Amino acid sequence: MSRRVRLNLWLLSAMLVTAMAAPTLAQESPPITVADAHSYTFGQQITFDVDVSSPTPVTALYLYLQTEGVAYGVPHPVPITPGTDVHTSLQRDLHQHPLPPFAHVQWWWEVRGDGGALLTTEPQSFQYVDNRFEWHTTSTEHLFLHTVVDDPVYVQAAVEIGETALARIAQALQTAPVSGIDVYVYPATADLRAALEMTGRDWAGGQARPELGTVLVAAPPDSSARTRMERDIPHELTHLLVYQVTGPEGYPYVPAWLNEGLATANELRPDPELEVVLESARAQGQLVPLSDLCPPFPNSRDTALLYYAQSGSIVRYVREQYGNSGIRALLTTYADGAGCESGVTRALDVTPQQLELAWRAHLVGLSSWMSWTVDNVPLLAVWGISLLLAVPMVGLGQRRRREKKKEEE
């Protein structure tokens, strides 16, 4: 047999072996499969059910949860009995481990098996909506309005108030209106408060979650509905627009007096109770120093009402004296990390003490005189010193004249 024939036979044999082996190589182990489902009752409990099928025994199972605004997923070990087919569930008590209301939540599974087998599923997500109610959604240019009350007049009122307030506030803050805002209107204050229990301020009339682009308010479907909407919807929308102006990094530096004061001043229907509280505190000498209005407001309703009333009044005064550009300058300065008191000086070129003095004078109708006094403190000081120096000189001149008169007599 020639060398060429032997070579051809060897090549043919190699091809046959390869062809026979190919099906064997293609017959890899079946993959690990995961099928799951979730369900929850808002504020009560959430359950994740999972079925895992694996060619080798599953030895460990983890559920990862990642809430909106958090940069990582938190692993939760799931107790299992090792095997190739695992059927189990994980329940979490939302009283002890609450989720941010109306946030988007991502979850995924990690499956570990014998021999180093490992599978991480693709992330899935759901929005943690208050599913105690059936929500009806109306889309507008900038809003997704969610109401429990399915009444066209009620819904239209909320739409008009929301869009009008958003445009007006955006113009005042010199920014563009935010789009895609979720506004949830609860049918009763008690229902809203139940949803806000985890915030520590369950008496509040609403809540804004700027990082989620979400607003929560309450408006009972009665004659007070429009009044409540005109007060609470603009208030909460203001926080979202402040967040847009300052950005997520700058927002925490905005002092409460400015953030809540803007929200209060932007209400289309001011709360008359705040006016009574402010006037009472002024008359009794119980106004709060501006420096005390920098941190988040107290949880006590009675105390917080004065803080809201006073902050709203200060913001209105600043807007009257410095215009919208003054407000925008304050927000920009705080977004750059300025402290509460230094931000006033940098943005308005007055000290916080001067601002507070002028505002207090404004409350009792002395704003023009007091503003001139505050602006001319150095001049007044020089004038006072010159007056003090002049008085002895006048007295000395008069004494010399009397002595000279006596000599002439």
- d(C-alpha 154, C-alpha 185), whole Å: 10
Q: Are 3 and 80 in contact (CB under 8 A)?
A: no
Q: Are residues 147 and 123 in the same domain?
A: no
- Helix, strand, coil share (%) of the chain residues, nearest 5: 50, 20, 25
DSSP tag of 135: -
Q: Are 278 and 306 in contact (CB under 8 A)?
A: yes
For the chain, count helices (H), then strands (E). Answer: 11, 12
Q: Phi and psi dihedrals of 113, rounded to 5?
A: -135, 180
Tell whether 14 is covered by a domain.
no
- d(C-alpha 363, C-alpha 130), whole Å: 43
Tell whether 37 is covered by a domain.
yes
54's CB contacts (< 8 A; 6+ apart) are 32, 33, 84, 85, 86, 111, 113, 117
Sign for the CA dihedral angle at 349, 354, 358, 359 comes to positive
- Looking at residue 245, what is its pLDDT? 97
Tell whether 86 is covered by a domain.
yes
Q: Which residue, of 127, 143, 176, is where some domain finishes?
A: 127
- Looking at residue 401, what is its pLDDT? 63
Q: Are residues 331 and 220 in the same domain?
A: no
Tell whether 329 is covered by a domain.
yes
96's CB contacts (< 8 A; 6+ apart) are none
DSSP tag of 83: E
SS3 332: helix
- What is the value of pTM for the model shown? 0.79
Q: Are residues 123 and 141 in the same domain?
A: no
Please count the CA atoms within 13 angstroms of the CA of 57 that sit on its side-chain side.
6
- Looking at residue 408, what is its pLDDT? 58
Q: Which residue, of 106, 127, 148, is where some domain finishes?
A: 127
- Looking at residue 380, what is its pLDDT? 47
Tell whether 408 is covered by a domain.
no
SS3 182: strand
Q: Are residues 265 and 240 in the same domain?
A: no
Strand ranges of the sheet holding 143-147, from the earlier edge strand across to the other edge: 136-139, 143-147, 181-186, 214-218, 206-209
Domain that holds residue 264: 254-376
- Looking at residue 277, what is its pLDDT? 97
- CA angle 170/173/176 to nearest 5° reads 40
Q: Are residues 110 and 215 in the same domain?
A: no
**Domain count along the chain:** 3
Q: Which residue has the tokens 């182990």?
A: 29
Nearest to 32 by CA among 55, 62, 10, 66: 55
- d(C-alpha 138, C-alpha 144), whole Å: 6
- Looking at residue 22, what is its pLDDT? 41
- Looking at residue 21, what is its pLDDT? 40
Tell whether 69 is covered by a domain.
yes
To which H or E segment does residue 76 belong?
strand 74-77
- Looking at residue 202, what is its pLDDT? 52
- d(C-alpha 136, C-alpha 148), whole Å: 6
- Looking at residue 396, what is its pLDDT? 55
Joined together, the tokens standing for residue 14 give 């190699």
Q: Are residues 236 and 274 in the same domain?
A: no
Which CATH number goes with the domain that contains 175?
3.40.30.160
Euclidean distance between the first and the last CA atom of the chain, given in angstroms as a whole number? 165
Tell whether 146 is covered by a domain.
yes
- Looking at residue 133, what is its pLDDT? 96
Rg (CA), the chain: 35
Q: Are residues 100 and 150 in the same domain?
A: no
Q: Which residue, of 192, 221, 245, is where some domain finishes?
A: 245
pLDDT tens, N- to C-terminus, the chain (409 residues)? 554 444 444 444 444 434 444 443 334 567 899 999 999 999 899 999 999 999 999 999 999 999 988 899 999 999 999 999 999 999 999 989 989 889 999 999 999 999 888 999 999 999 999 999 999 999 999 999 999 999 999 999 999 999 999 999 999 999 999 999 999 999 999 999 888 875 445 556 689 999 999 999 999 999 999 999 999 999 999 999 999 999 999 999 999 999 999 999 999 999 999 999 999 999 999 999 999 999 999 988 889 999 999 999 999 999 999 999 999 999 999 999 999 999 999 999 999 999 999 999 999 887 544 444 544 555 445 445 554 555 455 555 566 666 655 555 5
